[in-house]
Structure 1
Amino acid sequence: MTAVTGRAATAVARGGFGTGPLSRAAALVHTLLTVEAMLLAAASPGLAGVFLLGTDPSNLPLIALCLVPLGPALSAALYALHRRGRELTELRPARTFWHGWRLNSVPVLRLWVPLLAWLTVIGFSLTHFPDAGVPGWWAGLLVVVGVVSLLWGGHALVLGSLFTFRSADVARLAAYFLLRRPTASLATASLLVLTGGLTVLGTEALPVLLAAPLLLSLLHAFRSEIAEAQEDFTA
């Protein structure tokens, strides 16, 4: 029995505990569930306000205010997912999430709050467009500007979450990669469409409950951009 136990221990030492495909899948599921729980905990005060306010256009400024905590929560989730352990013995997603939240909250808010304010102005203008007395083509222009702003925000959120650039540099790099990396922009647009579809066909809570896997897929789409930023814009 002692010899068998010794051989088993040697095999584990050679192969490494928790390195097989099943262990890696379990590690991924554990990380996604933990990051999802942490994201909900960090953003829950504002999200509760959004669900209570409803979708009346007059509530848009209040909804934007409630969404302020969501920016740092999304940033911390991206940080934790990007640095996730691949093996069962390396799992510290909760600690990594809160470290990312403390590290990125202020820099991300410098970009997140102006973006929310800008999108609120666009949304308020579109919902009250008949009262504005402006040409109809302005509505199409506002939609285009809003979509481009959201795509820029996706790039800025990823870059600001994973790198310690200054906020102005993140803003410029986001605009740069918006044109240079159309694949990442298309992935961001696809996730926005998916999020909107889940909200319309299901409930407002559904995209939030699926935030962790959606963010992981976003990171996968941004891997070339992340590598380029790491290589060309960091010392």
Structure 2
Amino acid sequence: MTSDVTDTGKFGTGPLSRVSALIYTLLVVELLVLLTVVPGLVALVLLDRSAGNVPLMAACLLPVGPALSAALYALRHRRRDLTELRPAPAFWRGYRLNFGAAMKIWVPWLVILALVGTNLGNFSAAGVPGWWGALLVVLAAGSTLWVANALVITSLFAFRAVDVAKLAAWALGRFPAATLANACLLVVAGGVTLVATEAAVALLASVLTATVLWNSRAMIAEVEQRFTRQ
């Protein structure tokens, strides 16, 4: 039988404890994300999937930005030691600290998404060429990859919104592996939404957020090294 006590005799720092700590943190963060977004999520699930409701769908997603920002903050600052876990206080601290900054990034993205969705929903009636629809899809995907970078940056660093926007766009080309990984994650999330509902994606929020954070570790390290005071 193996023990989770290290050679130094300290409990809670072995491999089993680290895995348990990660699972516990993900579960707590997931519950807190759901708690902060549940009103909008319920309304979103009940809305009819029509082009006219796209702006309302975007409005339902307003609470998601600060919640994801708080989740990123809590996961970034999580403790590996099972005896020192405090994911809930870290989440609420991140929520308070980053609410305004996250909304400055999140709201413009939702506006773009609402405009794209409305145009695509009325695409046949508009009589525009097919390439315009493809361009709109590329715009939606590109802006989503951008907002993922922007949320990571604004959740972990204290930059002005305009600087966050520039850094997030710069990171798309500077870290192509991370951009590709996030694009794959976007495809998975979109597939889950199509097959199931938005609620299914919400139930995976902490896992998806942790994956984005993992994909962004090179970007985080370079931003910290190049653009913050040591």
1:193 and 1:12 mapped to 2: Cα distance? 41
2:213 and 2:55 mapped to 1: Cα distance? 30
Match of 2:122 in 1: 128
Match of 1:3 in 2: none
Q: Is the 8 A contact 2:67 2:95 kept in 1?
A: yes
- Structure 2, unpaired ranges of 5+: none
Per-residue deviation, 1:13: 9.2
1:139 and 1:196 mapped to 2: Cα distance? 18
Per-residue deviation, 1:135: 2.2
Q: How does 1:26-45 map to 2 (within 5 A)?
A: 26-45=20-39
Match of 2:93 in 1: 99
State how many pairs are aligned.
Answer: 225
Q: How does 1:34-183 map to 2 (within 5 A)?
A: 34-183=28-177
Letter in 1 for 2:209: L
Letter in 2 for 1:200: L
1:16 and 1:233 mapped to 2: Cα distance? 37
Deviations 1:10-51 (A, max 9, x none): x87933110111111111111010000000011111111101
1:54 and 1:182 mapped to 2: Cα distance? 37
2:73 and 2:155 mapped to 1: Cα distance? 6
| SS in structure 1 of the partner of residue 159 of structure 2 | coil
2:197 and 2:40 mapped to 1: Cα distance? 17
Match of 1:5 in 2: none
Match of 1:4 in 2: none
The structure that has the greater radius of gyration is: 1
Relative to the length of structure 1, the TM-score reads 0.92
Relative to the length of structure 2, the TM-score reads 0.94
Deviating above 6 A after TM superposition, structure 1's stretches of 4 or more consecutive aligned residues are none
Per-residue deviation, 1:191: 1.0
| SS in structure 2 of the partner of residue 15 of structure 1 | coil
CA-based RMSD: 1.4
1:111 and 1:161 mapped to 2: Cα distance? 11
Match of 1:198 in 2: 192
1:79 and 1:141 mapped to 2: Cα distance? 33
| SS in structure 1 of the partner of residue 41 of structure 2 | helix
| SS in structure 2 of the partner of residue 14 of structure 1 | coil
2:139 and 2:192 mapped to 1: Cα distance? 23
Q: How much identity, in percent, do the aligned residues show? A: 52
2:207 and 2:144 mapped to 1: Cα distance? 19
Deviations 1:36-80 (A, max 9, x none): 000001111111110111322221100101100000001100110
Deviations 1:139-177 (A, max 9, x none): 111111111111111111111111111111000000110
- Structure 1, unpaired ranges of 5+: 1-10
| SS in structure 2 of the partner of residue 120 of structure 1 | helix
1:219 and 1:55 mapped to 2: Cα distance? 31
